[in-house]
Structure 1
């Protein structure tokens, strides 16, 4: 990892910290927490993108969501999509 790092003090429930420490394995607690924070930031960014899209185009309906899920599933199985 070539990114600069900093040392921070955080407070969290002991049971969560211990579970994270155990799951961190050889990479350690810091790497595990950094990965979790990165995932949360990605989710926050996606939530913001959805809010902006829905503000401009209206809410995304359940049928549209299912159609997109079906399309992703087909793409994962190599079925491709017709454009």
Structure 2
């Protein structure tokens, strides 16, 4: 059984056009959940970028042709 997530109220200043777009896309009353999901995705991308940096530091840069091939396969 997993623990219930805890929540904390936060306040950020967001460009008006971004907030308007979020309000158009997020279900009514779900803006916080929409933003939290977007932040989680960004954190995953940041962690992935850090992993790639570590791998390149250890082994050298990735072959661009191999990266392109795998990117095509993932689409």
Band the TM-score falls in, shorter-chain normalisation: 0.7 to 0.9
Structure number, greater radius of gyration: 1
| 1:70 shift after superposition | 5.4
Where do 4+ consecutive residues of structure 1 move more than 3 Å?
A: 69-73
Output the TM-score relative to the length of structure 1.
0.76
Cα distance, 1:9 vs. partner? Answer: 0.6
More helix per residue: 1
Residue-pair matches, total:
72
Segments of 5+ residues of structure 2 without an aligned counterpart are: none
Aligned to 2:43: 41
Q: Which has the higher contact order (CA 8 A, sep 6+)?
A: 2
Question: Are residues 1:31 and 2:60 paired?
Answer: no
Q: What's the offset of the Cα at 1:68? A: 2.6
> Partner of 2:6 in structure 1?
4
